[in-house]
Amino acid sequence: MFHCAAWLEALRQTYGYEPVVYTTASPGERLENGVVCCRVQSRLTGRRLVSLPFSDHCQPLADDAEDLAALLTALEDELCTKGWRYFEVRPLIPLGLHGSGWHTAAVYLHHQIDLQPDLAQLFSNLHRDSVQRKIRRAEREGLTYLAGATESLLDSFYGLMVKTRRRHGVPPQPKKWFQSLMDCFGDALQIRIALQGTKPIAAMLTIRYKNTLVYKYGGSDVSYNRLGGMHLLYWNSIQDAKRWGLRFFDLGRTDVQQAGLVIFKKRWGAVESAISYSRYTNSAGWAHSFELARPNWKTKTAQFVFSHSPDRLLAILGNLLYRHFG
């Protein structure tokens, strides 16, 4: 999904990132390979090439090892000649990049549910106490479920996103980002809301791409978590994906330090794999990544400010800062 034109256009519309593809094909020839990147230029975080910003993964597209080596060498040369801070690649399948100048930037876990079994078997695969009972609890509580791509659903979703990001001590993505995704993906995108009466208590955003339903964002009102609203959304997403004849439900990436979220996803019967982001730099000074660094007083202070900011201010901060984070 992260290679597709809709995703790239949403990045351009929201953050001003211009996508560029590096390939061994000559002008006019049919593309046989490519590495898609965005050039991120920021006075706050520096100039860099990223494949791709705000994307869980983005595999370099090259079947031939020689072509892949040529593409990566060209990107390494561009880094040196243009003075970029670093080049980052986010492959779903490891590339074995251990040469001079390459360093691990971050490690995440990826979870995906195989939807081939029938619904009864998929439900049976769910953790009995932590998932099955939560789904039944949501049904007993009479929670209702809405799905679509309307402005009112976006408003409800974004309100819950702001609450969730505050709990985590980080600003929310700009609301414009979600609006751009809605505009670019059309009917393939759905915002899913669980309600108690008329009150939204949990929300998620999914995108259907080829044979996969991708979970990308979610949020909830923690005071209602006991009712199982998020579990209801996951289970309805699985049922929709089965009805559409899809093969996979992609639960996205998870930080390895988020042990609770990792356990939550595994209890849905998801298969776990590791994603390792790699960076190439021509300076030893950039060898250690921001992601792997231990929290310092600056990050702790920022988390404190974000977690205590009112909704309006937190949204403004997200709008100002996110284009520097890609």
Whether residue 321 has pLDDT greater than 90: no
Q: Where are the chain's structural domains?
A: 5-107+274-297, 117-246
Spatial contact of 60 and 35, defined as CB atoms under 8 Å apart: yes
More confident residue, 78 or 213: 213
Task: Examine the pLDDT at 168 and tell me if it is beyond 90.
Answer: no
Q: Evaluate if residue 134 carries a pLDDT over 90.
A: yes
Measured from the Cβ of residue 38, the count of other Cβ atoms closer than 10 Å reads 24
Tell me the average pLDDT across 279-283.
83
Closest CA to 307 of 163, 202, 173: 163
- Alpha helices (H) in 186-310, listed in sequence order: 229-243, 259-266, 297-307
Instruction: Evaluate the omega torsion of the peptide bond into residue 52 and state whether it is cis, within 30 degrees of 0.
Output: yes
pLDDT tens for 233-258 read: 999 999 999 999 999 999 999 999 99
CA angle at 211 for the pair 208 and 217, rounded to the nearest 5°: 35
Burial of 113 (0-12, 13-18, 19+ CB in 10 A): buried
SS3 (DSSP) at 12:
helix
CB 262 within 8 A of CB 109: yes
Closest C-alpha among 232, 220, 238 to residue 143: 232
> Per CATH, is 117-246 categorized as 1.10.10.10?
no
Strands of 248-255's sheet in order across: 19-22, 35-42, 46-51, 87-89, 271-280, 102-114, 248-255, 212-220, 199-209, 189-196, 144-148
Q: Kindly state the average pLDDT of the residues 32-41.
A: 94
The CATH class for the domain spanning 5-107+274-297 reads alpha beta
Overall pTM surpassing 0.85 (yes/no): yes
pLDDT for the residue numbered 295: 54
Residue 272 has pLDDT above 50, yes or no: yes
pLDDT band (50, 70, 90) for residue 194: very high
| pLDDT tens column, 59-118 | 999 988 999 999 999 999 989 898 899 999 999 998 888 778 899 999 999 999 999 999
Residue 217: band (very low, low, confident or very high) from pLDDT cuts 50, 70, 90: very high
What confidence score (pLDDT) does residue 289 get?
41
User: Cβ(8)–Cβ(19) under 8 Å?
Assistant: yes
User: Which residue from 70, 10, 15, 5 is spatially nearest to 36, judged by alpha carbons?
Assistant: 5
* Residue-level pLDDT at 290: 41
**Mean pLDDT of all residues belonging to the chain:** 91
Backbone angles phi, psi at 215, to 5 degrees: -80, 125
At residue 219, does pLDDT exceed 90?
A: yes
Q: pLDDT over 70 for what percent of the chain?
A: 94
* 170-177 mean pLDDT: 94
Query: Would you say the CATH fold of 117-246 matches that of 5-107+274-297?
Result: yes
pLDDT at 210 over 90: yes
